[in-house]
Each structure stands twice: as structure tokens, then as C-alpha cells.
Amino acid sequence: MTNHERTVVCLASYFKGVEFLREVKRQGCRVVLVTKEKFRHEDWPFESLDELIPLPNDASPELFIYTVAQLARPRKLHTVVALEELDVLTAALIREHLRLPGMGSTTARHFRDKLAMRIEAQQAGVRVPDFVHVLNYQDLEDYMKRIPPPWVMKPRSDVSAIGIKKLYDSEQVWRTIDYLDARDRLSERSSNYVLERFVAGDVYHVDSLVENGEVVFAGVNRYGRPPMSVAHEGGVFTTQTLPYDSPERAALLDINRKLITGLRMRRGATHAEFIKSAEDGEFYFLEIASRVGGAYIAEALEAASGVNIWAEWAKIELGRGEVPYVLPPTRQEYGGVALSLARQEYPDTSSFTDPEIVYRVKKRYHVGLVVRSDRHERVTELLRDYTARFERDYCAVVPPLERPE
């Protein structure tokens, strides 16, 4: 089948994946985007879309499945791809329903369910903070006697730091369970949570492209502050490329390969987070998603390496293991991003004139800059300066979300 006969269906419950959509169209395919009604007028690359289907904002997975099944009646579908983390499991269910190649729901849960990914990572020999499913009362009692606080209680399937609570004693744990079990939605009650030992330290992320079970590209970055701290306390989010000769980079690349093999990822893009414990200096696995990292991480990766991870992921999906994937030439420079919520609807960043700036965030009530340099120290210097200026002139703080909106 030639590319112009191939139909690729992309799911995006948020505004994500513009370069993925463009690349699929550049490859000559028919592109169908299925999104939510509230995102139909976002800045999608409409010139690259053959069809945009908006579903109700509260659309269920069953409605997504039905909609894509109807698309498959007049034409055969090549693949279904989730551009946003909340759609990963839905896309897997669609593939199973239509018997399309790609990740099924069992493997997809390894990348959506924080309990499943911890169990699988542990079995693969990856170090994980001590955890327990918030389910059996005796297991919880034994865990809290064995593992000293503080602990963090995390939703098994929410994204980023949404819904995470830091707890300091067993009474707080039991009261939090009571609070969760009083919720109307069954999917938000306590058995959908995991309790984990809080580990203090620096947080890193590894963003990968995977083909035939092998990591063919990986960028290694360190956050300025842990994302959980930024989400709960506000302030400026930063991340930057690690030095290429650093022992941390080598260790994280090794752990990341072991993790992806253990989770049985065959092809796609991943965003994995690890923390280096301030107590023992070891790396611990935090979470992994089968998607491109958010918060303009893709732009920072491209600044450093020359690789647009969205576009390369699109090529991997289209090849489907039948066409050999070849990574384009890469460079070893340094990228970084500074990002914050802003008080202004569209902040004016014209006063930032450094030649290293390669991208300016254009998003309502956000301020952000992506930089590139051949020197790690220069990126560090710029991000430190931008953090101080953002905090002084733009920064806004909002309470952390209890659930995705």
C-alpha cells in the first residue's frame, strides 16, 4: 500500500502533536484528527488535516472506539496514534477492536498505570521507591510501619503532578483514603491510587524514540526544580541537557534501556522520569509515558540534537517495523527551556534579545523561552537569568489541579 492510500487516525484530547500531524501529511498519508470540542479551534495545522472530528468534551472511550470504527467502513486504516497521554489506553482499545497493529491495552497500561509500571520496572531490575497499592488495609499498615514518612499518594492514571498528595503520618493516610472513597466517581476512589516513599533529590528525564524494541535516540535532561514542587508551589519550570560526558547521563541511558525493554515497548516515543536520591545518590524510577514530553521539552531536545522527536516518531509509526527506520544526523549541543504561568494574557518577551533564543512560547497566560548553545554553562546561565526575570515580571501561581481539566 502506498502512502497516499494510507489513513492515519490521531487522537488528541489536548492540543498536542502539531509536528507529528505535519510529518504524516508530508509522508503523503491521509490524516484524520479526533479531538474534543473545546480544542477544535486550536492552532492545529489544518493544511495537514484531511478531516477533523470533534467529540463532546465528556466523550467516553466507547464513543472514540465507535467513531474510529465508522471511519474504517469506507477506507482501511493504517494506524491509530495517541498524541496525548490521556488517549494512550483508548488508542490501544481501538487497535484491539479493529485488530490493527500496535500497542495493545495490556502494554499500554504499563505506560498509564503508575502501579503497573512500578511492578514491571521492579521486575526488570530497575530501582523504584518503596510503594504499596492503596487497597488492602493490612498491607497498608505493614507498609507504614516498615517505611518511614513522608509518603506521596499518587493517582495511578493521572498525568504530571495532578492529584498527588504528600502525607506525613498514618492518620493523614487513612483520612485521605476516607476522602477519596467518598467521591462520586468510582474511578477516583482509593483503589486507583498508589502510596510511595517520598524521595528528595534532583529529577531527570529521558526522552526516547524506540524502534523494534531498541532505543534509537535518547535525550537526557535535568529539571531545575522537581515538577511536583513547581506544580504545588508555583514558580518557573526549567529543564536543560545534561553534559554528554557526565556519569549521570551514562547511568540514565542504561536504566532507561532496561526499563523500556522490561515494559515491552516495541515502537514509539517515551518520556521517562527518574530521581537521584539526595540521601544515597542512587537513581530511582518515577514514571514513564508512551508519548513526547510536554512543557516544550520537544523544542529543547530539537535545539540540542537537531532531532524533532514528534516528526521522527511519525516516521516510526508509518514504517510499522516493515520499513527500516534511519535516524537523521544529530548534533551534541545543549538546549533548555524556561516556562511559567503568567499574569498577562500574552506576555511581551521582546526585551529578551539573547541570540541563543530559538523559540518563544505563544500560549495564553504562559511565558516561555527555549535556548540553544554549544556550551552547557551558557544554557545554565541563561535559564538562571530568565527564572529571576520571569518571577519578577510575569509569574502567576494557581492551586494544583485535583484532576485533569
Euclidean distance between CA atoms 380 and 68, whole angstroms:
46
pLDDT at 4: 58
Among candidates 221, 217, 271, 256, which has minimal Cα distance to 242?
A: 221
Per residue in 35-88, pLDDT tens? 999 999 999 999 999 999 999 999 999 999 999 999 999 999 999 999 999 999
Quick one: CA torsion of 216, 102, 110, 40, rounded to 10 degrees?
100
Residue 3 has pLDDT above 70, yes or no: no
Per residue in 185-224, pLDDT tens? 998 999 999 999 999 999 999 999 999 999 999 999 999 9
Per residue in 82-110, pLDDT tens? 999 999 999 999 999 999 999 999 999 99
Per-residue pLDDT band for 158 (boundaries 50, 70, 90) equals confident
Q: Considering the entire predicted model, what is its pTM?
A: 0.93
pLDDT at 2: 55
Per residue in 276-321, pLDDT tens? 999 999 999 999 999 999 999 999 999 999 999 999 999 999 998 8
For the residues of 313-372, what is the DSSP string, one character each? Answer: HHHHHHHTTTS---PPP----EEEEEEEEBSSSS---TT---TTEEEE---TTEEEEEEE
pLDDT at 403: 57
CB 46 within 8 A of CB 107: no
Q: What is the mean pLDDT of the chain?
A: 94
Among candidates 127, 122, 313, 335, which has minimal Cα distance to 220?
A: 335
Per-residue pLDDT band for 159 (boundaries 50, 70, 90) equals low
CB 261 within 8 A of CB 361: no
Q: What is the mean pLDDT of residues 338-351?
A: 95
Residue 160 has pLDDT above 70, yes or no: no
Residue 400 has pLDDT above 70, yes or no: no
The pair phi, psi for residue 333, each rounded to 5°, is -115, -165
pLDDT at 206: 98
The pair phi, psi for residue 212, each rounded to 5°, is 55, 40
Among candidates 78, 69, 22, which has minimal Cα distance to 50?
A: 22
Q: What percent of the chain has pLDDT over 90?
A: 90
Higher per-residue confidence, 130 vs 396: 130
- What are the chain's domains? 3-102 (3.40.50.20), 130-197 (3.30.1490.20), 201-393 (3.30.470.20)
Among candidates 213, 214, 227, which has minimal Cα distance to 273?
A: 227
